[in-house]
């Protein structure tokens, strides 16, 4: 089945109009792929439960033609939300999961985000319900240490792509497009 819908979960202090999210929508729209970037609640003071609830609602029903993409705090939110989605949809499979600058362990400079790392579903159990899995990281990230990405890739048995110089994949760092993501999704 081909890709028909992408749900992008943004990160801490972000919103749907930031970074490369609009560019992704522009790349996929001519191919008939609907790209949704929901606004997650209180982005300046995120709460794990509220973000998970919002992500579950945005993801909705999943199937082989659906992809979930997370960026930064959106990656661990995707993991949390998909655990619930799969509990609620016991026979469902997700087509693709792509995590950009991911983590599932505490990020040292952001202790306020530690609650997101508690009560996570097992990554191998998630991977068993997802057809394709990707982790994208930079060779240096000033926000989420790159050492936090390989355990996510290993736990999900995901392909790992390193984008040199992309830092945290933010527009403030010059990242307003992410061609490796589009290439992989298609």
pLDDT band at 1 (very low <50, low <70, confident <90, very high): low
Three-state SS string across the chain, please? CCCCEEEEECCCCCCCCCCCHHHHHHHHHHHCCEEECCCCCCCCCCCHHHHHHHHHHHHCCCCCCEEEEEECHHHHHHHHHHHHHHHHCCCCCEEEEEEECCCCCCCCCCHHHHHHHCCCCCHHHHHCCEEEEEEEEECCCCCCCHHHHHHHHHHHCCEEEEECCCCCCCHHHCCCCCHHHHHHHC
Domain ranges within the chain, ordered by starting residue:
5-185
38 burial via Cβ count (<10 Å: 0-12, 13-18, 19+)? middle
Mean predicted confidence (pLDDT) in 35-42: 97
Instruction: Tell me the sheet residues that pair with 161.
Output: 136
pLDDT band at 18 (very low <50, low <70, confident <90, very high): very high
Mean predicted confidence (pLDDT) in 10-23: 96
* pTM greater than 0.95: yes
Sign of the alpha-carbon torsion through 102, 108, 112, 116: positive
- Residue 100 pLDDT > 60, yes or no? yes
Q: How far apart are CA 78 and CA 175, in angstroms?
A: 21
Give the count of beta carbons closer than 10 Å to the beta carbon of residue 143. 19
CATH 3.30.565.10 describes domain 5-185: no
- Residue 15 pLDDT > 60, yes or no? yes
Q: In what order do the strands lie in the sheet with 159-163?
A: 34-36, 5-9, 66-71, 94-100, 130-138, 159-163
């Amino acid at each position: 089945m081909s890709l028909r819908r992408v749900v992008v979960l943004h990160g801490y202090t972000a919103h749907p109009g930031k970074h490369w999210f609009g560019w992704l929508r522009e790349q996929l729209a001519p191919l008939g792929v609907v790209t949704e970037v929901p606004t997650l609640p209180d982005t300046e003071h995120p709460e794990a439960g509220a973000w998970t609830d919002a992500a579950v609602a945005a993801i909705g029903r999943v199937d082989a033609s659906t992809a979930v993409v997370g960026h930064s705090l959106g990656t661990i939110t995707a993991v949390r939300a998909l655990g619930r989605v799969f509990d609620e949809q016991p026979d469902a499979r997700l087509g693709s999961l792509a995590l950009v600058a991911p983590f599932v362990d505490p990020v040292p400079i952001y202790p306020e985000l530690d609650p997101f790392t508690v009560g996570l579903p097992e990554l191998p159990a998630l991977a068993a319900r997802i057809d394709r899995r990707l982790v994208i990281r930079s060779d240096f990230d000033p926000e989420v240490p790159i050492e936090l990405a390989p355990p996510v890739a290993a736990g999900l048995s995901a392909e790992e792509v390193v984008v040199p110089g992309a830092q945290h994949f933010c527009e403030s760092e010059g990242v307003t497009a992410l061609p490796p993501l589009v290439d992989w999704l298609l």
